[in-house]
Homo-oligomer: A and B are copies of this chain.
Amino acid sequence: MKLVESIKESGGFLNRYTHESASCRCSMTFSVFLPPQATDGRVPALYWLSGLTCTDDNFRVKAGAQRYAAEHGIALIIPDTSPRGANVPDVPERYDLGQGAGFYVNATQEPWSTHYHLYDYVTAELPALVEQHLPLIPGVRSISGHSMGGHGALICALKNPGMYRSVSAFAPICHPTECGWGQGCFSAYLGDDKSLWEAYDATCLIRVGASIPEIFIDQGTADEFLLEGQLLPESLAAACQQAEVPLTLRMQAGYDHSYHFIATFIGEHIAWHAQAMA
């Protein structure tokens, strides 16, 4: 992996790397915030998965997370949301399919199946890479994300018991097989057999017995995508209740889907993950 940018922030360093990804068969870019504590020791890592249209840039610029990561001594690992490049399939006129919309699955359908393997990338290739090259405590990881990335955080944790010490999400797509965004991407990436979609749907995974010690979600009540039925936290809540999976779902009055919502609560999420990784 190649360091392409390094900016001092909150006493640590906000770095950007590129590398040739075996999972995605293209060059991938990701950002890492290394807190001051990483200068003379290894630190735990919080993975952040971003939402539709995002790159690794949005979270590092807009969420104000670095100061909390510095305070708690944890690294932030911030991957891109899809493979990129001129050779990577895309639908430029759509923000919710193709580049910027990897949906954290391993695509099986042409033309997506060559590059769109974000699930393998996020859960296997990237952790192995950063734990080899950066001052991280091997295996001490947590995961969070926003919207499509909240969905990604939930399924990564549910499908890999023990891999993450904790999982949280901001306004996650909780039940992608039943919302327009999820159906659009899953049908393209995974094909028409809806039973195969369920392996990447947090609500479905919990219904069939996937379990983790706790799920922590913040959701704004004025979120435009909640109101149009893209997020469906009520489906996840029902599944968790049925399966007795502990869920803390905070409905935050008046907050929308933007990074201003994330910025408001990211400090509490980072403190919670830091405690889980302590």
A66 within 8 A of B: yes
Q: Is the CB of B64 within 8 A of A261?
A: no
A64-83 Cβ-contact flags toward B at 8 Å (1 or 0)? 10110000000000000000
| Set of chain B residues within 8 Å of A258, measured between Cβ atoms | 7
Q: Please tell me if the beta carbons of B8 and A260 are within 8 angstroms of each other in the complex.
A: yes
Docked-complex contact B14 and A260, CB < 8 angstroms: yes
Describe A's contact surface by its main secondary structure. mixed
The number of chain A residues with a CB under 8 A from chain B is 23
In the complex, A61 has a CB within 8 A of chain B: yes
Do the beta carbons of B67 and A263 come within 8 Å of each other? yes
Q: How far is the CA of A230 from the CA of B274 in the complex (A)?
A: 41
Question: Is there an interface contact between B8 and A263, defined as CB atoms closer than 8 Å?
Answer: no
Cβ contact of A264, chosen from B9, B62, B220, B222, cutoff 8 A: B9
Is there a chain B Cβ closer than 8 Å to A90's Cβ?
no
Q: Name the interface residues of A228-262: CB closer than 8 Å to any CB of B.
A: 254-256, 258-261
Distance A220 CA – B258 CA, assembled complex (angstroms)? 30
| A61 and B64 form a contact (CB under 8 A) | no
Does residue A113 face the partner (Cβ distance < 8 Å to B)? no
Name the distance in Å between A270's Cβ and chain B's nearest Cβ. Answer: 13
Chain B CB within 10 Å — which of A9, A256, A261, A267 has the most? Answer: A9
Is A109 in contact with chain B by the CB < 8 A criterion? Answer: no
A183 at the B interface (CB under 8 A): no
Q: Nearest chain-B residue to A254 (Cβ)?
A: B8
User: Within 8 Å of chain B (Cβ to Cβ): is A114?
Assistant: no
List the 10 closest A-B pairs by CB distance, nearest first. Answer: A64-B64, A9-B260, A8-B254, A7-B260, A10-B264, A8-B255, A9-B264, A61-B62, A14-B260, A7-B256
Residue pairs across A and B with Cβ atoms less than 8 A apart, 8 shown, are A7-B256, A7-B260, A8-B220, A8-B222, A9-B263, A61-B61, A66-B263, A67-B267
